[in-house]
Amino acid sequence: MNNQKLVRNIVPAEPGFDEPNAALLAEDFRGFLPLPAHLDSHFEEALRHVLQNPGSLVRPRLVMQVATAYGLDATHANSLAFALEYFHTASLIFDDLPCMDNASHRRGAPCVHLAFGEPGAILSALALINRAYALTWQALSGCARDTQLQVMAYLEQRLGVEGLLNGQSLDLHYAKLPHNRETTERIAHGKTVSLIRLTLVMPAMLAGASAREIQLLERIATCWGLGYQIVDDLKDVLQCFSETGKSVARDVLLGRPNIAAAIGVCGAVERLNSLIRMGDLTLSRLLIIKPSLSFLGKLRADLQAELVRVTENACEMNPRAQA
């Protein structure tokens, strides 16, 4: 199948947008969890390893952009940005454990449990979570009481038994579930979309966005969250270690959900295009209400670019692509 045809419905990216400086973001990623003196040395080493490997920091970038669009002050926005990044990082550390995905690499480095043992990994992840809640609190400290309760309830739902945690449990027991689009998307909705929803919705909610804006942001987060999961699934099936910096082709091996494995690479790409179209429609409605969110076009363009990069020549060259 021709990839040009597969991506034909994707519109061009928005014009350039000044993103937060990458080096500053990495510095903040380290700095928002200050390590006190006299920590147990094993714990400290594991924490330093985590903090020195920040990954792409796409979530804090987005939080700060949404916050800017809504006029939220930078201090509160920054606290929220790294709170969500810490929640995300903690979830990855847990996912990588031997009893979960048993991964070897993450963010281009050995997984924490391999470098510093499972207790080091678990305690580091819990330290991130503890800090993340404190940062969220700080981000909320300037808000009206009703907003605080609304935002906290939203956070609890996305991270808790109804959101991320249930998604992770379904993910681990995928072998016993029907291998189809509905199942993989139900899992992605819990595991992946939950944090994207928090990233786009929380800063807007904190700034007092309307119910309609929240609804549209939620829909965009769902389309693009599922979309990014499809890109990840395609990467797992099609790419090699050097390109992704993490263990790959593991999903089928471990019986983990992968939409490209469940319905084929081309079906997955078609579904991604459909999600991008739904996202475009929703974004156009949102931008009428809130033009300052136009930078979101960049996220959508990145999704398109990832899709093009991942699928380039894959359908013709890689035998696994025919799965």
Of 141 and 284, which CB lies nearer to a copy of itself in the complex structure? 141
Look up residue 300 and give its amino acid.
Answer: R
Residue 31 CA from chain centroid, whole number: 21
Query: How far is the C-alpha of 316 from the C-alpha of 309, rounded, in Å?
Result: 14
Q: Residue 303, SS3? A: helix
Shortest Cβ 129–a copy of itself spacing (Å) = 7
Look up residue 131 and give its amino acid.
Answer: R
Of 138 and 239, which CB lies nearer to a copy of itself in the complex structure? 138
Of 68 and 229, which CB lies nearer to a copy of itself in the complex structure? 229
Shortest Cβ 229–a copy of itself spacing (Å) = 18
Shortest Cβ 318–a copy of itself spacing (Å) = 31
Q: What residues line the site for a copy of itself (CB under 8 A)?
A: 33, 35-36, 39-43, 47, 94, 97, 99-100, 117-120, 122-123, 126-127, 129-131, 133-134, 137-138, 141, 145, 148-149, 152-153, 155-156, 159-162, 165-166, 168-170, 172-173
Of 156 and 316, which CB lies nearer to a copy of itself in the complex structure? 156
Of 9 and 130, which CB lies nearer to a copy of itself in the complex structure? 130
Among 227, 214, 235, smallest CA distance to 304 is for: 227
**Long-range contact pairs involving 141-146 (C-beta distance under 8 Å, separation at least 24):** 141/76, 142/73, 142/76, 143/206
Tally of CB atoms within 10 A around 258: 26
Shortest Cβ 112–a copy of itself spacing (Å) = 12
Of 44 and 280, which CB lies nearer to a copy of itself in the complex structure? 44
Shortest Cβ 166–a copy of itself spacing (Å) = 6
Shortest Cβ 223–a copy of itself spacing (Å) = 22
Cβ atoms of 275 and 224 within 8 Å: the answer is yes
Query: How far is the C-alpha of 133 from the C-alpha of 139, rounded, in Å?
Result: 10
Within a 13 Å sphere around the CA of 166, how many CA atoms are in the beta-carbon half?
A: 14
